[in-house]
Structure 1
Amino acid sequence: MRKDLSDRTSADMSISDLISSSTVKIETFDKNGGTGTGFFFDFNPQTPETLDSLAIVTNWHVVEEVKNGQFTLTKKDQNGEPLNTEHLTIFLENFESHWIPHPDAEIDLCILPIKSIRHLIKEDFFYGSFDASLIPSQEEIDTLCAIEEIIMLGYPDALWDTYNNKPIVRKGITATNPRLPYCGYEEFLIDAASIPGSSGSPILIYNIGQYLDRNDNHYFVKYRIFLLGILYEGPQFTAEGIIEKVPIKKKKIVTTQIPINLGAAINSSKILDFIGLI
Structure 2
Amino acid sequence: MEPRKVRVDKLSYVSIPISMYLDETKQKLASGTGFIYERNKQYYLVTNWHNFTGLNPETKKSISRHGGIPNVVTFSLLIQEKPHIQWKEFGVNLYENNKAQWLVHPDHKHKIDVAAIEIEIDSEQEIILKPLNKIEFDDIEPKVADDIFILGFPYSLKGGGRFPIWKRGSIATEPDLHIDSLPKFLVDTAGKSGMSGSPVIFRRSGIHGVVGGKVSLDSILGTVENFVGIYSGRIIGKSELDAQLGIVWKKEVIDQIIDGNCKDEIKFA
TM-score higher than 0.5 here?
Answer: yes
How far apart, CA to CA, are the structure 2 residues paired with 1:154 and 1:99?
Answer: 21
- Matched position secondary structure for 1:66: coil
Q: Confirm or deny that 1:25 pairs with 2:17.
A: yes
Query: Is the alpha carbon distance of 1:58 and 1:183 closer, same or farther for their aligned partners in structure 2, counting shifts above 3 Å?
Result: same
The one-letter code of the counterpart of 1:200 is: G
TM-aligned CA deviation for residue 223 of structure 1: 4.3
TM-aligned CA deviation for residue 188 of structure 1: 0.4
How far apart, CA to CA, are the structure 2 residues paired with 1:67 and 1:184?
Answer: 31
Aligned twin of 2:87: 87
**1:203 aligned residue (200, 211, 220):** 200
Aligned twin of 2:105: 102
- Matched position secondary structure for 1:272: helix
The one-letter code of the counterpart of 2:169 is: G
Look at both structures and tell me which one has the larger radius of gyration over its CA atoms.
Answer: 1
TM-aligned CA deviation for residue 18 of structure 1: 1.8
Query: Is the alpha carbon distance of 1:178 and 1:213 closer, same or farther for their aligned partners in structure 2, counting shifts above 3 Å?
Result: farther
Return the TM-score normalized by structure 2: 0.71
**1:58 aligned residue (39, 47, 50):** 47
How far apart, CA to CA, are the structure 1 residues paired with 2:17 and 2:50?
Answer: 15
Superimposed CA distance per residue, residues 138-193 of structure 1 (whole angstroms, 9 cap, x where no aligned partner): xx64xx433211111011111114x5211111111101111222343211000112
TM-aligned CA deviation for residue 76 of structure 1: 2.3
Query: Is the alpha carbon distance of 1:179 and 1:217 closer, same or farther for their aligned partners in structure 2, counting shifts above 3 Å?
Result: farther
Aligned twin of 1:263: 246
The one-letter code of the counterpart of 2:203 is: Y
Aligned twin of 1:151: 149
Superimposed CA distance per residue, residues 176-218 of structure 1 (whole angstroms, 9 cap, x where no aligned partner): 1112223432110001121111111111112356447696666
Query: Is the alpha carbon distance of 1:185 and 1:69 closer, same or farther for their aligned partners in structure 2, counting shifts above 3 Å?
Result: closer
Query: Is the alpha carbon distance of 1:13 and 1:164 closer, same or farther for their aligned partners in structure 2, counting shifts above 3 Å?
Result: closer
The one-letter code of the counterpart of 1:199 is: S
Q: Which runs of 5+ in 1 are unaligned?
A: 1-11, 45-51, 240-256
Q: Confirm or deny that 1:38 pairs with 2:30.
A: no
- Aligned positions, number: 230
- Once structures 1 and 2 are overlaid, which stretch shifts more, 209-218 or 31-40? 209-218
TM-aligned CA deviation for residue 102 of structure 1: 2.5
- Once structures 1 and 2 are overlaid, which stretch shifts more, 95-104 or 21-30? 95-104
TM-aligned CA deviation for residue 60 of structure 1: 0.9
How far apart, CA to CA, are the structure 1 residues paired with 2:83 and 2:152?
Answer: 19
Superimposed CA distance per residue, residues 99-150 of structure 1 (whole angstroms, 9 cap, x where no aligned partner): 22232312111112222xx24x97322233222897998xx64xx4332111
Q: Deviating runs (4+, > 6 A) in structure 1?
A: 132-137
The sequence identity of aligned pairs, in percent, is 22
- Matched position secondary structure for 1:33: strand
Q: Confirm or deny that 1:71 pairs with 2:75.
A: yes
User: Does the CA contact (< 8 Å) of 2:80 and 2:87 recur in 1?
Assistant: no
How far apart, CA to CA, are the structure 2 residues paired with 1:73 and 1:24?
Answer: 7
User: Does the CA contact (< 8 Å) of 1:145 and 1:213 recur in 2?
Assistant: no
How far apart, CA to CA, are the structure 2 residues paired with 1:43 and 1:111?
Answer: 11
| Higher helix fraction (1 or 2) | 1
CA RMSD of aligned residues (A): 3.4
Query: Is the alpha carbon distance of 1:83 and 1:149 closer, same or farther for their aligned partners in structure 2, counting shifts above 3 Å?
Result: same
